[in-house]
Amino acid sequence: MKIGFIGLGIMGKPMAKNLIKAGYQLVVCDLVQSAVDELVALGAEAAANGKEVASKCNVIITMLPNSPHVKTVVLGEGGIIEGAKAGSVVIDMSSIAPLASREIYAALEEKGIDMLDAPVSGGEPKAIDGTLSVMVGGKKEVFDIYYDIMKSMAASVVYVGEIGAGNTAKLCNQIIVALNIAAVSEAFILAKKAGVDPELVYQAIRGGLAGSTVMDAKVPMMLDRNFKPGFKIDLHIKDLSNVLETSHGVGVPLPLTSQVMEIMQAIKLDGCGVEDHASILKYYEKIANTILER
């Protein structure tokens, strides 16, 4: 089967590589030529735009930064909708606003094109090793048909409801991740300032109720002062913007999420927007006048 893949960034490139490893033929497209060249070297075919990708593939995966990018690539001039045939499917694995997913779906449906919104969680490490979590919205029968493709990039692929439900689940995920990183930052700055070895605190509490995937992923990074982006602050701000827009639309106050959003905005102003979201730690270091390290 030939699959189109548009968006070869931090997440998209390793995801596309895992599809090639699984035996799929790819037609790829990205604004960064070096990323395209890297996939072509592995056997993929290059395309100039979404229209060309869709003209060559019945399955088109998009992995793009935000709602406007997906709308442009799918519905804009030279977009997927201009090249896709009736019966094709767009699997949008970007993290975008649920309302945007529904708008794109409605436009595609008029042309007889199916769509799944299938955002992922796990960051760059899990994209590389193919163990992402995928939460999927759309028609269940379409999900069933394309499950194996998504599973080639993931450890978990779960159907959560109609179109937009995937991105709603992802927004819930991003709330929990952001609040976890903030809580971990608070706790370990307290340990450090109180004169207790944070490495030993980590070993003491990680096996109890406070333990989490977030703690295991981010505390070692924090202790090593490693803020290389697996998931950038800028992208988490984008996700929390979508969270707050959606929550206001349905009438759900999110006081803790709003606070973490302001923390991220402060860190971005300090020049950390392109760093990993573990850089939330730097906000606490600044206000406590201490540095967390081994």
Q: Which tens digits make up the pLDDT trace of 118-133?
A: 999 998 999 999 999 9
The answer to whether the 2-162 and 168-288 domains have the same CATH topology is no
Could you name the CATH architecture of 168-288? Orthogonal Bundle (1.10)
Residue 10's alpha-carbon distances to 16, 59, 127, 176, in angstroms, are 11, 21, 9, 22
pLDDT single digits (tens) 9-51 = 999 999 999 999 999 999 999 999 999 999 999 999 999 999 9
pLDDT beyond 90 at 294? no
pLDDT single digits (tens) 133-168 = 999 999 999 999 999 999 999 999 999 999 999 999
Quick check: pTM over 0.85? yes
pLDDT single digits (tens) 251-264 = 999 999 999 999 99
Domain 2-162: assigned CATH number: 3.40.50.720
Domain segments of the chain as ranges: 2-162, 168-288
Predicted pLDDT of residue 286 = 98
Q: Which residues are catalytic?
A: 170
HEC profile for the chain? Answer: CEEEEECCCCCHHHHHHHHHHCCCEEEEECCCHHHHHHHHCCCCEECCCHHHHHHHCCEEEECCCCHHHHHHHHHCCCCHHHHCCCCCEEEECCCCCHHHHHHHHHHHHCCCCEEEECCEECHHHHHHHCCEEEEEECCHHHHHHHHHHHHCCEEEEEEEECCCHHHHHHHHHHHHHHHHHHHHHHHHHHHHHCCCCHHHHHHHHCCCCCCCHHHHHHHHHHHCCCCCCCCEHHHHHHHHHHHHHHHHHHCCCCHHHHHHHHHHHHHHHHHHCCCEHHHHHHHHHHHHCCCCCC
